[in-house]
Amino acid sequence: MQNSSNASTRRETAASSPPAAGNGSLKSKLFLVFVIVFIAANLRTASIAVGPVIESIQANLSLSGSAVGLLLTLPILCYGAFAPLAPKMLRYTSAEHLILVGCIIFAFGLVLRSLFGTFGLYSGTLIAGAGTSVVMVVLPAIIKKNFPDKAGMMMGFYSTALCLGATIAAAFTVPLENVPGSDWRWALGFWTLPLIVSIFMWVPYTKGQKPNTSRARSASPRLRKCWLAWQVSLFMGIQSSIAYCVFGWLPVMLIERGMTALAAGFILSITLGVQLITSLTAPWIATRGKDQRATIAVMLSMAVFGLMTTIYGSMSLMWLWATVLGLGLGGMFSIALSLLVLRAPTPQLAASLSGMAQGVGYIVAAIGPVIVGLLHELTGGWDAVAVFYLILVSGSCFFGMGAGRAKYVSSPDSDS
Helix (H, G, I), strand (E, B) or coil at 96: helix
* Contacts for 161 with CB less than 8 Å, ≥ 6 apart: 37, 38, 40, 41
Residue 178 lies in a domain: yes
**What is the per-residue pLDDT across 12-54, written as a single tens digit (0 to 9) for each?**
343 333 344 444 577 888 888 898 889 988 888 777 777 667 7
Q: How many CB atoms lie within 10 A of CB 363?
A: 17
Q: 3-class secondary structure for 237-290?
A: HHHHHHHHHHHHHHHHHHHHCCCCHHHHHHHHHHHHHHHHHHHHHHHHHHCCCC
Count up the domains in the chain and report the number. Answer: 1
Q: Which residue has the higher pLDDT, 255 or 107?
A: 107
Q: Which pTM was predicted?
A: 0.73
pLDDT band of residue 214 (cuts 50, 70, 90) is very low
Of the chain, the end-to-end C-alpha distance in Å amounts to 17
- DSSP string for residues in 6-75: HHHHHHHHHHHSPPPTT-SSHHHHHHHHHHHHHHHHHTTHHHHTTGGGHHHHHHHHT--HHHHHHHHHHH
Residue 270 lies in a domain: yes
Q: How far is CA 127 from CA 109, 134, 211, in A?
A: 5, 11, 25
- Predicted confidence at residue 238, as pLDDT, reads 92
Residue 413 lies in a domain: no
Domain that holds residue 283: 4-403
- Predicted confidence at residue 211, as pLDDT, reads 59
Q: Answer yes or no: is pLDDT of 235 > 90.
A: yes
Report for 239-248, 333-342, 397-406: range of highest mean pLDDT = 397-406
Phi-psi region of 356 (alpha: psi -120 to 50; beta: other; left: phi over 0): alpha
From the list 232, 220, 206, the residue with the least C-alpha distance to 351 is: 220
The stretch 140-146 carries a mean pLDDT of: 80
Residue 62 lies in a domain: yes
The CATH number linked to 51 is 1.20.1250.20
From the list 145, 142, 173, 182, the residue with the least C-alpha distance to 46 is: 173
How far, rounded to the nearest angstrom, does the alpha carbon of residue 364 sit from its chain's CA centroid?
A: 13
* Rounded Cα–Cα distance for residues 292 and 290 (Å): 7
**What is the per-residue pLDDT across 354-399, written as a single tens digit (0 to 9) for each?**
778 877 888 888 788 878 878 887 888 889 989 999 999 999 999 9
DSSP state of 347: H
Mark 183-209 as b/e (b = at least 16 C-beta within 10 Å).
bbbebbbbbbebbeebbebbeebbeeb
Residue 238 lies in a domain: yes
Residue 408 lies in a domain: no
- Predicted confidence at residue 215, as pLDDT, reads 47
- Predicted confidence at residue 62, as pLDDT, reads 79
- Predicted confidence at residue 210, as pLDDT, reads 65
Share of the chain above pLDDT 90, in %: 16
Residue 411 lies in a domain: no
Residue 13 lies in a domain: yes
Q: Answer yes or no: is pLDDT of 257 > 80.
A: yes
- DSSP string for residues in 333-385: HHHHHHHHHHT-SSHHHHHHHHHHHHHHHHHHHHHHHHHHHHHHHHHSSSHHH
Report for 29-33, 167-171, 314-318, 367-371: range of highest mean pLDDT = 314-318
Q: How many CB atoms lie within 10 A of CB 2?
A: 14
pLDDT band of residue 312 (cuts 50, 70, 90) is very high
* Rounded Cα–Cα distance for residues 81 and 366 (Å): 12
Q: Which residue has the higher pLDDT, 380 or 233?
A: 233
